[in-house]
A and B are shown apart, each in its own frame.
Chain A
Amino acid sequence: MAIQMPTRLLDGAVLSFLQADDLYGYALTQRVQSVVDVSESTIYPVLRRLKKDDYLSTYDQPYQGRNRRYYHLTVAGEQLLQEIQTEWQEFSLQINKIMGETK
């Protein structure tokens, strides 16, 4: 597909998955990859940036003698998600006017 996932929507996708569940890196990567075709090394930069801007927080949970780091949506993260959702609704509405909705 020639259309590529913009960073903003990738942020939205990550935030959206984390709103449903707190997830650890691998599980989150799997979920994002189930929807969009992104490489594995794409997710860490997104998480790092979102965490730095306080949209996400992390906590560790022991699992089989090691730790898994879970990512959790903060209040600011929920607001950002809503913003991105609104942006996307408006954008897709406009594009659909031109491209025509399927069926």
Chain B
Amino acid sequence: MSAAIDNYIEELSSHLSALPAAERQDVLEFYREFLLDADFRQIEAISAELGTPKQLARKILADYSLTPAVIENNQSTGDSTKKTRNNSSRRNFQIMWWILAGMFAAPIGIPAIIVLVALIIALVAVVCSIIVAIITIIVTTFGTGFYLIFHMGTLLFSSQWATACFYMGISFICLGIGWLTLLLGISAVRFLSKKGVQLARYLGNKFFSKHYYRTKSNHEGGQ
């Protein structure tokens, strides 16, 4: 067994650690067998055929992210539903990242990359500003609410009942708004991550059907 093949597969494996074990095993076995059959002796020769382990790993991960069933199966193995829901947001962001990384690994022109980067920056900016706005609302409403409750306490001791009642009302309103925003914010993040994955999958499918199944000559860089 060639050491070059072992090294290549080992490095490929290290880039695929995020995949479910069974899937990783399957793809690694496929490429190990492929390389043994092709009888490569040098790692340079392997990279010329398949790309570097990192490039190949990106293609593999992007491909997994585009096929929903595999990811969904993996999610349903979570023991408690709450845990699964929490994981799903994180998982969604991971899927988006895989698709994007896969896009960058594909041999595309500079203009396409610029458009892609601009699009991503714009999307990230929008999402971030929404999240910042939500956090600001939560912090200010909770802050004001608790401050007024504290203030009300001191007013009660000085027997200014009317003002105390007024502050109490305001503080409850603030806390209520804060709480509602918190709940809305959580579902908004969940919603955005779900839509984000759908968008990424849609773009990914468009993109990869055009660039992924590339010809060998293009794959090697000679447009």
Binding site for B on A (CB under 8 A): 1, 4-7, 10, 24-27, 29, 33, 37-42, 44-45, 47-49, 52, 66-69
Contact = CB atoms under 8 A, between A and B. Distances in A.
Contact of B56 (A6, A24, A41, A66): A41
A30 B67 CA distance: 26
B37 A24 contact: yes
A43 B202 CA distance: 22
Interface residues of B, number: 30
Given A25-B34, A47-B30, A48-B67, 13 more contacts: A7-B213, A10-B213, A37-B216, A37-B217, A38-B216, A39-B219, A41-B59, A44-B27, A45-B63, A45-B212, A52-B70, A66-B36, A69-B30
Contacts of B67: 48-49, 52
Contacts, number: 75
B101 to A, nearest CB: 15
B209 A6 contact: yes
A40 B50 contact: yes
B44 interface: no
A20 B36 CA distance: 24
A58 to B, nearest CB: 9
Contacts of B30: 25, 44, 47, 69
A66 B215 contact: no
A90 B169 CA distance: 74
A7 B34 contact: no
A26 B36 CA distance: 9
Interface in B196-223: 209-210, 212-219
B51 interface: yes
A60 B62 CA distance: 27
A25 B26 CA distance: 12
A1 B37 CA distance: 29
Contacts of A33: 216
Contacts of B110: none
Given A41-B51, A44-B27, A48-B63, A5 B213 contact: yes
Contacts of A1: 215
A91 to B, nearest CB: 17
